[in-house]
Amino acid sequence: MTEEKMMVAERRNYKVHTTEDAKQIVIDYLKNTELSEYEIDFGLPEINDRYNIWKVPLLYTKEAVGDIVVDAYSKEIDKKLSSEIPIIRNRIIAIQASFSQRTVTKTKKKRSKKEFVVSNLDNMIIKGRSELALKTLPEQSIDLIFTSPPYYNARKQYSEYESYDDYLLLMRKVIRECRRVLIDGKFFVINTSHVLIPRNSRNESSTRIAVPFDIHQIFIEEGFEFVDDIIWQKPEGAGWASGRGRRFSADRNPMQYKAVPVTEYVMVYRKKPCVLIDHFIRDNPNQAIIQASKIEDGYEKTNVWYISPARDKRHPAIFPAELAEKVIKYYSFVDDVVLDPFGGIGTTAKAAKKLGRRFCTIEVSDDYIQHTINELEVNLIDMFNGRKIVYKDLSKESENEEFKSFEHLVHRLLREGHSKDELYDALLYGLKKKN
Ligand SMILES: C[S@@+](CC[C@H](N)C(=O)[O-])C[C@H]1O[C@@H](n2cnc3c(N)ncnc32)[C@H](O)[C@@H]1O
């Protein structure tokens, strides 16, 4: 530090005097975040005496990945001015990905042969909450994920979520666990749509929540690469049931216009590091699988897929088998394991079975699981791939000791004065000690 800066620090009674002080504060802070597992270096911390802050640059393998800002007076981290932890983590993952890509190209034959992962999972039907049940699956054991998550319902009387943030937190937990179980470079395809919140009275207007865009952000932060946004287009009549557009249709006044939604998103992501796709084709030791998985003529050539919605009196929100079959054919090979963490009555599992893939379907509702079990013939050997179909009931997991003690811990922390926002941050980034 220059003498002049030293004088400023002293004159102003800063608690953080030197670059070493600033660095140490950041080192301590990072220990309680999800960055603790990475070897992070530091650039030269700089003081900004206009705003009374220290900016500490973070480096990963000599590349800048973000800055953490420390308040010079209080020694507190200024989270608003600092780079967000998930974003820094994502930059690190991207750097690691580019490294493994470079190494794959350099020592191509030797490395890729060694790293070709073949999952050993049996077909599975799991009853339980995905955010817990996924933890029982081994790392890198899934080849494709296709799902349609539960609908966020903003109406308190129907909603199982306290708030939209709670809903997004569940999504983040599931997406994070899904990334762990997915094989590097493989696909996660998710069907979502914006949510319409009907008006409560004639004097109010309905509103919409752009759920797919918020979920997109989570995917990026959790280490996925965005690949495609496929539009699932339904016939025109399909959207009128929501009532949207009726008023305009009658009155035709400008500004009352509301487009009737007849599309849903089928968003396609890949787990980083994005190993070359060629690796999954050339290095598969069973080339018969590659031949058997070729896609016949008549495939979807654009990102708009015309598919009629499905109805089933057993479940209010299933997606059509045709959609699941297309996704499975385009993004997985025969004998791969296809996971649906919000499995409903098993549309993804049935499509996977039909197409000679293995399946893993997780669903919380007992009714929906029963329908899935009835149709998928549990305990039988799958005729196609000779693997067992295993049923696991993990619904009691939520009552097990680990979960109970977690719930007790949450209640205790709330009683001790930690705010809900703080606990939310803690789940994502680690808990700071309350003074
Ligand atoms: C949109 S539906 C999926 C329907 C499915 N695609 C089908 O065709 O049958 C979402 C499903 O997620 C289930 N669900 C909600 N929260 C869950 C959780 N935490 N873990 C597992 N399943 C959950 C719901 O019961 C519902 O069946």
CA of 213 to the centre of ligand 1 (A): 20
Q: With a 6 A CB cut-off, is 60 part of the ligand 1 pocket?
A: no
- The alpha-helical segments, DSSP class H, found in 107-191 are 108-115, 130-133, 164-181
In 236-261, which positions are buried (b, 16+ CB within 10 angstroms) versus exposed (e)?
A: eebbeeeebbeebeeeeeeeeebebb
Q: Where are the domains of the chain?
A: 3-92, 121-395, 400-429
In order along its 435 residues, the chain shows pLDDT tens digits of 555 555 677 778 888 888 899 999 999 999 989 898 889 999 888 888 888 999 999 999 888 899 999 999 999 999 988 988 988 888 888 788 777 656 555 555 444 454 799 999 999 999 999 999 999 999 999 999 999 999 888 666 667 888 899 999 999 999 999 999 999 999 999 999 999 877 777 777 778 899 999 999 999 999 999 999 999 999 977 766 667 888 898 999 999 898 888 999 999 999 998 889 999 999 999 999 999 999 999 999 999 999 999 999 998 889 999 999 999 999 999 999 999 999 999 999 999 999 999 999 999 999 999 999 998 877 666 666 677 888 999 988 655 655 666 767 777 787 777 877 777 777 766 655 444
pLDDT at 397: 67
> Whose Cα sits closest to atom 18 in ligand 1?
129
Q: With a 6 A CB cut-off, is 177 part of the ligand 1 pocket?
A: no
Q: Which helix (H) or strand (E) holds 53?
A: strand 53-60
Q: Which residue has the tokens 């549309």?
A: 347
Number of neighbouring beta carbons within 10 Å of residue 153: 14
253: its two tokens: 């006044």
User: What CATH number was assigned to the domain covering residues 121-395?
Assistant: 3.40.50.150
Q: Which residues pair with 64 in a beta bridge?
A: 59
pLDDT at 241: 64
CA of 147 to the centre of ligand 1 (A): 9
Q: Which residue has the tokens 């050993």?
A: 120
Q: Is 49 exposed, middle or buried (0-12, 13-18, 19+ CB in 10 A)?
A: middle
From 166, 170, 342, the mutation candidate for ligand 1 (largest count of ligand atoms within 8 A of CB) is 342
Q: With a 6 A CB cut-off, is 79 part of the ligand 1 pocket?
A: no
pLDDT at 137: 95
Closest ligand 1 atom to residue 362 Cα is 21
Q: With a 6 A CB cut-off, is 152 part of the ligand 1 pocket?
A: no
Q: In whole angstroms, what is the distance from residue 431 CA to residue 422 CA?
A: 8
CA of 129 to the centre of ligand 1 (A): 9
Closest ligand 1 atom to residue 151 Cα is 1
Q: Which helix (H) or strand (E) holds 393?
A: strand 389-393
What's the Cα-to-Cα distance from 374 to each of 128, 268, 330, 386, rounded to whole Å? 17, 30, 28, 19
Do the bridges between strand 224-233 and strand 304-306 make them parallel or antiparallel, or are there none, so unpaired?
parallel
Q: With a 6 A CB cut-off, is 349 part of the ligand 1 pocket?
A: no
Q: With a 6 A CB cut-off, is 365 part of the ligand 1 pocket?
A: yes
Closest ligand 1 atom to residue 147 Cα is 6
pLDDT at 102: 61
CA of 402 to the centre of ligand 1 (A): 24
Q: In whole angstroms, what is the distance from residue 230 CA to residue 232 CA?
A: 6
Residues in Cβ contact with 318 at an 8 Å cutoff, skipping those fewer than 6 apart: 310, 311, 312, 344, 345, 347
Closest ligand 1 atom to residue 341 Cα is 21
Closest ligand 1 atom to residue 346 Cα is 9
Q: In whole angstroms, what is the distance from residue 180 CA to residue 365 CA?
A: 24
CA atoms within 13 A on the CB side of 131: 13
Q: In whole angstroms, what is the distance from residue 30 CA to residue 75 CA?
A: 14
